[in-house]
């Protein structure tokens, strides 16, 4: 698939925003995070800002962005519509949590309940986003059991890195949060490794022979369907060379997992300026890494339609 910048920005920005929002809601309700209004305002502003940027960027991938509002009308059958509905509804408990945190400097009681509800809706929105791709049976690299865990773990990981950096900036040392960051990075790394291993060692069951119900026979087209590239070939037949994919995976492993893990350990064991710098650099490194990972997620996806244009497998 052709990696569109708008979709890459949408999945990375909104994923990190929802991850941060969910963790602030959970840890805030548990009384682990500071009740300070400026901390709450900063965290919720970053979380909801990233979510908004992601949602707005997703509309630029539409042929008619002005009709984006119609997407939510098909929520009974479309994961895209469900995502839109959940994204809008999530703003309600998040806003109420913000009122309690910023104006009353409390995240307990009713405001804590709103934090938990907001966290649940945030994770459901991430699940709906993942299911947009997981439900496409025509793309083997997406229609597998590792797509959903990959989206969830990366969302929680990037949100945790943001929360850890914010705590260090405010000179707060919630060790439960910093320890959770390390666990989240390791878990996301494992899931991503298994996902990449899966798509490297497996192929779709669809073949040119199965398309015409003669499994086992070698099918060779007599003539190409087109004598020049068309829209489907450009959008659904994007090809990334194996050597380039391997290099990009290495970059993603290094910047998305290895460096944030090492820097998060430093932040966990340090304090003051050293801890703050480590946590902030970990976020910057993860931003680079997750952008590369998202590009690969789309670039390595092979649509079954490619079989029609000469591919022997997808």
Q: How far apart are the first and last CA of the chain?
A: 12
Percentage of the residues of the chain whose pLDDT score is greater than 90: 60
Cα(195)–Cα(150) distance, integer angstroms: 8
Predicted confidence (pLDDT) per residue in 281-303, tens digit = 999 999 999 999 999 999 888 87
Number of H helices, E strands in the chain: 11, 0
Q: Residue 204's CB: how many other CB atoms inside 10 A?
A: 19
Nearest to 138 by CA among 187, 192, 225, 211: 211
pLDDT in tens, 198-216: 998 888 777 777 666 666 6
Nearest alpha carbon to residue 298 among 230, 232, 239: 239
Is the Cα torsion angle 111, 117, 123, 129 positive or negative in sign? negative
| DSSP per-residue letters across 67-124 | GGGGGGGGTTT-HHHHHHHHHHHHHHHHHHHHHHHHHS---STHHHHHHHHHHHHHHH
Residue 1 pLDDT class (50, 70, 90 cuts): low
Closest CA to 189 of 248, 254, 242, 141: 254
Average pLDDT, the chain: 88
The predicted pLDDT at position 232 comes to 64
Choice between 40 and 208, residue whose per-residue pLDDT is larger: 40
Indicate the pTM of the whole model: 0.91
Cα Dmax for the chain = 73
Model confidence band, residue 237 (pLDDT cutoffs 50, 70, 90): low
- Do residues 288 and 281 touch, judged by C-beta distance below 8 A? no
| SS3 of residue 303 by DSSP | strand
Q: Are 54 and 17 in contact (CB under 8 A)?
A: yes
Residue 139 dihedral angles phi and psi, to the nearest 5°: -125, 105
Closest CA to 90 of 10, 177, 25, 166: 25
pLDDT tens per residue, range 4-13: 888 899 899 9
The fold of the 5-309 domain, in CATH, is Formate dehydrogenase/DMSO reductase fold (1.20.1630)
The mean pLDDT value for 252-256 works out to 96
Q: What is the pLDDT of residues 86-132, one digit of tens each?
A: 999 999 999 999 999 999 999 999 999 999 999 999 999 999 999 99
């Amino acid at each position: 698939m052709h990696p569109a910048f708008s979709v890459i920005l949408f999945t990375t920005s909104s994923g990190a925003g929802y991850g941060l929002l969910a963790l602030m809601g959970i840890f805030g309700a548990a009384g682990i995070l500071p009740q300070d209004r400026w901390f709450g305002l900063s965290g919720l502003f970053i979380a909801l800002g990233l979510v908004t940027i992601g949602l707005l960027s997703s509309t630029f991938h539409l042929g008619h962005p002005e009709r984006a509002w119609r997407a939510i009308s098909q929520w009974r059958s479309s994961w895209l519509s469900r995502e839109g509905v959940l994204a809008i509804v999530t703003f309600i408990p998040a806003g109420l949590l913000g009122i309690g945190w910023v104006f009353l400097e409390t995240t307990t009681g009713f405001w804590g309940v709103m934090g938990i509800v907001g966290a649940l809706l945030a994770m459901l929105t991430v699940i709906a986003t993942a299911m947009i791709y997981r439900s496409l049976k025509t793309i083997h690299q997406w229609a597998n059991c590792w797509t959903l865990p990959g989206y969830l773990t990366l969302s929680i990981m990037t949100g945790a890195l943001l929360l850890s950096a914010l705590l260090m900036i405010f000179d707060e040392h919630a060790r439960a949060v910093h320890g959770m960051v390390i666990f989240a990075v390791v878990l996301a790394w494992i899931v991503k490794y298994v996902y990449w291993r899966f798509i490297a060692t497996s192929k779709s069951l669809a073949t040119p022979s199965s398309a015409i119900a003669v499994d086992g026979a070698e099918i060779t087209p007599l003539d190409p369907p087109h004598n020049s590239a068309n829209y489907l070939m450009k959008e659904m037949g994007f090809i990334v060379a194996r050597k380039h994919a391997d290099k990009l995976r290495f970059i993603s492993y290094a910047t998305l997992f290895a460096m944030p893990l090492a820097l998060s350990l430093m932040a966990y064991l340090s304090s003051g300026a050293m801890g703050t710098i480590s946590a902030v650099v970990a976020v910057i490194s993860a931003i680079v890494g997750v952008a590369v990972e998202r590009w690969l997620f789309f670039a390595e996806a092979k649509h079954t339609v490619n079989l029609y244009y000469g591919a022997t497998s997808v």
